[in-house]
Structure 1
Amino acid sequence: MPQPALMIFAKQPLPGQTKTRLLPDYSPEQAAAIAEVMIRETVGLAVSSWPGDIYLCGAPDTDHPLFEELARDFRLRLLDQTGADLGARMLAALRFGIERHGAAAVLGSDVPHCRWDVLDEANAHLAKGRNVLGPTEDGGYYLIGLTEAHDALFARMPWGGATVLEETLARAAAIGLHFELLSRLRDIDTAADLWLIGRGYEPLMRFL
């Protein structure tokens, strides 16, 4: 039986196009450097914790030296994000992974401080046919794992708002879908998030 796949979502770390909520506390170049560290650390976490295939899903595509380097060094598979919005892109990636591996999870690159055992738990749930969600403190989620792709969980979702997790769980209940919940984490979006996480997370301390 194939192992569940992990799809890491990451934007190309380009100044002015990534981690824009860190501005103006950080310059566009600093924000891009922070994004690069977060992507590298997320990949390192995944490679050390996830037993199945790992895909690095780049936006707007994977044509970036960082993605190519990580794919080469860690033997990752590269996959372009495709779709009109975040929901469509996640759904497409999950469908791709589920069709090939039986189950798949999308992991954002905003929680590089996630513990290895959290990913191990997510993989264990998926391997047993259970769906899984990793909640964030701001009302969203950092990971979603499914054994079957469901459009209803992603279409016309208010992405970036404080009700994403609540709405996802409500939609899941409406179609008879159950999620196992992982540990709640703070994702790094703002300068305040960076300060709170970075004090205890060595890879980001130099940016404080």
Structure 2
Amino acid sequence: MRFCLLVMAKSPVPGHVKTRLCPPLSPEEAADVAAAALLDTLAAALETPGAVPVVALAGVVRREDVRDALAECVVIPQRGVSFGDRLANAHADVARFRMPVLQIGMDTPQVTPELLESCAEFEETALGLALDGGWWALGLRDPLRAAVLRDVPMSRADTGALTLEALRGGRSRADSGTRVPPARAGVVPAVRMLPTLSDVDTIADAHAVAAQIPHSRFAAALASVAAVTR
């Protein structure tokens, strides 16, 4: 089965990415860690059977290694002010591919091709919750249903629960201007729950994830600044 593997990513520019790692990291160190996370994520995406990797990118890429990795993917710009809007717009932009979408971010460098391939198997919708209360993966048979994310508060301890509620209800903001395919009358859309992962927001998260993937770019980048993070 072919599917669109949509990666929401931010260019690893010091001062604009992974700012919650500062301190103890410097903005430059945080950007290096973010770049490693993105590279590990893209490597897994490119090796996932059946996946068509698409990166919704925010910012200008200045690193050659990141540019080289992005050259192997379809790259589209992120659109919108709020994160919910950018998510919904990215899904709408890839709807032209006419295939199911599995969307992830660059905060879970521990993903593997095998995990991503298995997560792409769902009937209507899939959601992978994160340990911090958010979510790390969203699968949609119809990417236009991501319009419900416009109303979901992001980066909160209840974001995952609210996203699940929105997906099951299929509601969208009345003034959004975006049509959301309605669920069949009296039928709650099925949501397959994916494995729960830890994403990288804090330095404690970073060390926990690095311990899971000790031979990764991410673990190596974090180890290079370990002296100031312990």
Relative to the length of structure 2, the TM-score reads: 0.81
2:121 corresponds to which residue?
124
1:201 corresponds to which residue?
213
1:155 corresponds to which residue?
150
* Pairing of 1:43-54 with structure 2 (within 5 A): 43-54=42-53
- SS of the counterpart of 2:195? coil
**RMSD value, Cα:** 1.9
Deviation per residue, 1:122-169 (Å, 9 max, x gap): 2222xxx43111110011111111122225521232110011111111
2:76 corresponds to which residue?
79
2:176 corresponds to which residue?
none
1:60 corresponds to which residue?
59
Counterpart residue type for residue 211 of structure 2: R
Counterpart residue type for residue 124 of structure 2: R
Q: Determine the C-alpha separation between the residues in 2 that align with 1:156 and 1:63.
A: 33
Counterpart residue type for residue 121 of structure 2: A
Contact 1:22 1:31 in 2 (8 A): yes
Q: Determine the C-alpha separation between the residues in 1 that align with 2:145 and 2:60.
A: 24
Query: Is 2:165 aligned against 1:170?
Result: yes
Unaligned runs of 5+ in 1: none
Unaligned runs of 5+ in 2: 171-187
1:191 corresponds to which residue?
203
Q: Determine the C-alpha separation between the residues in 2 that align with 1:150 and 1:28.
A: 36
Relative to the length of structure 1, the TM-score reads: 0.88
2:183 corresponds to which residue?
none
Q: Determine the C-alpha separation between the residues in 2 that align with 1:94 and 1:50.
A: 21
* Pairing of 1:141-152 with structure 2 (within 5 A): 141-148=135-142, 149-150=144-145
Between the two proteins, the alignment pairs up a number of residues equal to 202
Q: Determine the C-alpha separation between the residues in 1 that align with 2:194 and 2:42.
A: 19
Runs of 4+ displaced beyond 4 Å? 61-67
Contact 1:50 1:123 in 2 (8 A): no
Contact 1:135 1:185 in 2 (8 A): yes
